[in-house]
Each structure stands twice: as structure tokens, then as C-alpha cells.
Structure 1
């Protein structure tokens, strides 16, 4: 794997179910994703985009093929190695998955506490800074029940980014956001790529994002049918 690749995927296949009910979801996926790039996965529902995202993000077990994530082969990775790798990743999902009993600030702090590398004051400062960047400086002490859908999603984005992950995996991250908020999030991801070398792999149906992508990969029926880098 080259140092410029965050992900190297070769001959990746995946199935759901077993026996006569078994259905193949991904077919012979070959993909190299450069560090610091913003790559967008598009395609109709059921085309395999989210399945691919969860496989390369250590959220689903690789059945067949090679996935090199940050230089580590997932097919042979032990549980402890997978946990260590997940700590270098950020995840943004369409469902914000916030804890209702925690404030916005406390939810974002959870994104740092898995690392355990910095003192509490530094973590608090980083969490406040990230929420402020996303326009939530006046909502820091609000609970999710008192936030709009778009505000909840921005809290989830802050939680994913606050730990400075090597790779961000995002599944429809702007679906709950208005145009301005959505563009703010995508511009931030793009800037993180340029400044820190953060790699973003994003599933989206949001055409507003496509013009900002470094690369657009189209999937249909579990296969890559178009790749703007080729």
C-alpha cells in the first residue's frame, strides 16, 4: 500500500443471508482512495454504497477480498486491532445517534474520550471550539430534545470531527441540514483534507455536494459503474 492511500480495496465481495436466501451485495470492488481526498459514493438505493462504507469502516466483517485501511489488512485484523483502528476514524450517520441524557457539549466530548489522550480542560476547549465552528456556540448546554433536527446533526458532525480522525466515513450527512448548514459541513471536511490530510468517504444523494468532491464513484447493483478519477 502506498503512503498516499488511506484505503486500498481489491476483489471485495460481500453477501447477506445464507443458503438459498443468500444474496450478493458487492461484486469485485477494486478501489484506491488517496489521503486527504473527498470521495463521494453515489447510486440508487440498494446499490451497495452503505454496505461498502460499513465494511471499510470496520463496522462489518470482511468476508472476501482485501481491504487495507490505514495500512492494516482488515480481513486478518484481530478485535483489538479493529478497536484501535476505529479510534482513528470518525463516523457521521443520517441518524444522529445522540444520547438524549447528555448535552450537546457532553455528546461531543464522547468523541474525544475514546482516545483518552488529552486532559479534561483540553477536551472541553476542543469540543466547545468545534460546536462554535458549526454555529452551535449558543446551544452548547442544550439537550437533544431541545435542538432541531439540523442542530442535532451538526452536533453529530462535531462529535465525529473533534478527535481529528484520519478518515471520516459519512452516510448521508447533509440529509437533515438546510443548504447553508450542509455546505458548512462539506467545506469543513474539504478544509480538513487540505490542512490536516483528513480523508472523507461520503455516501450522498445530495447533488449540492458533487461539485465539491475530488472524486465521484457510482455504484449500481453492487458494482462500480463509473469513477471520475479514471
Structure 2
């Protein structure tokens, strides 16, 4: 097992726009996130949290500085390498982005398509297991239109986790969930970190779950202004 952190950013800067409208969004971000940890990224709206998450998750080009993801440098990396890396990540966003014409199980099975050919029976078994982990065993064959907002978000969580990703990148995944469901999702991610070494980086405004984080990074105006380490719960 390597000691190389799965996420390692150094002197990361980022801008939006061009010419006189060019505005810097991130300033000199340096951080290392160890394997299996659960890190919460907090701060006011517009502080750069989602921008940082998308840069670390190779969803946005690195302009200046260095980002090493799972040992691979992202800056100027070929698109083929970025696609390969994304297959090792699980993404959860505030908008669940489910296909309305597919059942909960079929939506989750789509999370396995990036891993290549897998037989239908195995995919169904994996999807059913992932949905069971978030308490949706009784909703496998429901269409999104027949699910509540919180249930849809739990399907999205299952879809991100079904392929056993090395890293989970989550942007406000508990915003649509009640306190118990949100806590259950976070606890599930923490268990994956302990059992599989899955690393989680979560953007959140949800103060109800912060006591479960191993580390809380606070951003303000594009800068990390606080780095709070916590003992594992």
C-alpha cells in the first residue's frame, strides 16, 4: 500500500473570464488528503468550494499549480488519461440527475457502465446491494417520479458508490435529506473509508454532519483560512 495521498494539490490558482473581466477564484491552494479520510469543505457561497472540488475531480482544467490525483498529474494531462481517472471516482451532486424513464435499480446500474462490460445479473445484484445500503431495498423498481426528493438523492448516492470508487467527490449531497438520512449517508461513506480505503471530499453547508468529518477545510474568498483536524468518531 502506497503512502502517496490520493489527492495532492500544490500552489493551485484558478481564474474565470478573460481580459478586463478576468477574476481569480482560487488563490495558492495547497493541501493533501490522506487515503480513507472524510474531509468536509465549508465556507460561504462564492468562496470557491465547488470550483476546487471540480478541479480536484478532473472536471475542470488545471490552469496554474499542480494537482496529483491517485498519483497522476492533472495539469496538461491528455483527455484519455483524465477519462481513465474519472472512472475511479464517484460523483454526488446536489441535483440528483436521474434518468426519469429508468427505475432506481437501472439508474444505479448506469454507475457500472464506465467500468466496461459486466453481465446483467452481476450488475443487478450490485445495484440492489448499493440501494439497500441507503435504505431503498423496497424501491428498486420505482421510477424517479414516484420517489421523494430525498429518495432520489439516495439513489444518486448509490449510483456513485456502486462501482467501489477510490475517491468520492460530493457537492452538497445531504441538502435534500432529512437529518437521519443525511447522517446515514455520511456514516456509509466513513465505513467505506475504513473498510475499503475510500477517500471522501464533500462540499457542504450542512452543519448537522460536520461532527462526523475527520477534517474540516474552510474556504473564504478563494483561500483556505482554516484547517481543522478531528479525531475519528
TM-score interval, normalised by the smaller of the two chains = over 0.9
- Partner in structure 1 of residue 93 of structure 2: 93
The CA deviation string for residues 107-161 of structure 1, in whole angstroms up to 9 with x for no partner, is: 0000011102532211110100111121111111111111100000000000000
Question: Unpaired segments of 5 or more residues in structure 1?
Answer: none
- Partner in structure 1 of residue 173 of structure 2: 173
Q: How far apart in 1 are the matches of 2:94 and 2:172?
A: 5
- Partner in structure 1 of residue 26 of structure 2: 26
Corresponding residue SS for 1:126: helix
The CA deviation string for residues 165-217 of structure 1, in whole angstroms up to 9 with x for no partner, is: 00000000000001111011000000000000000000001111111100000
Corresponding residue SS for 2:30: strand
Corresponding residue SS for 1:31: strand
- Partner in structure 1 of residue 150 of structure 2: 150
- Partner in structure 2 of residue 6 of structure 1: 6
Poorly superposed stretches of 4+, deviation over 6 Å: none
How do residues 69-80 of structure 1 correspond to structure 2 at under 5 angstroms?
69-80=69-80
Q: 1:205 and 2:215 equivalent? A: no
Q: 1:196 and 2:196 equivalent? A: yes
- Partner in structure 2 of residue 46 of structure 1: 46
**Cα offset, 1:3, TM superposition:** 2.5
Q: How far apart in 1 are the matches of 2:62 and 2:133?
A: 36
Question: Unpaired segments of 5 or more residues in structure 2?
Answer: none
C-alpha contact (below 8 Å) 2:104/2:143 kept by paired residues: yes
The CA deviation string for residues 32-83 of structure 1, in whole angstroms up to 9 with x for no partner, is: 0000000000000000000000001011111111000000000031011000
**Structure 2 length-normalised TM:** 0.96
Work out the number of aligned pairs and report it. Answer: 229
- Partner in structure 2 of residue 103 of structure 1: 103
Q: How far apart in 2 are the matches of 1:125 and 1:141?
A: 13
Q: How far apart in 1 are the matches of 2:101 and 2:83?
A: 25
Q: CA RMSD in A?
A: 1.1
Q: How far apart in 2 are the matches of 1:207 and 1:171?
A: 14
Q: How far apart in 1 are the matches of 2:132 and 2:117?
A: 22
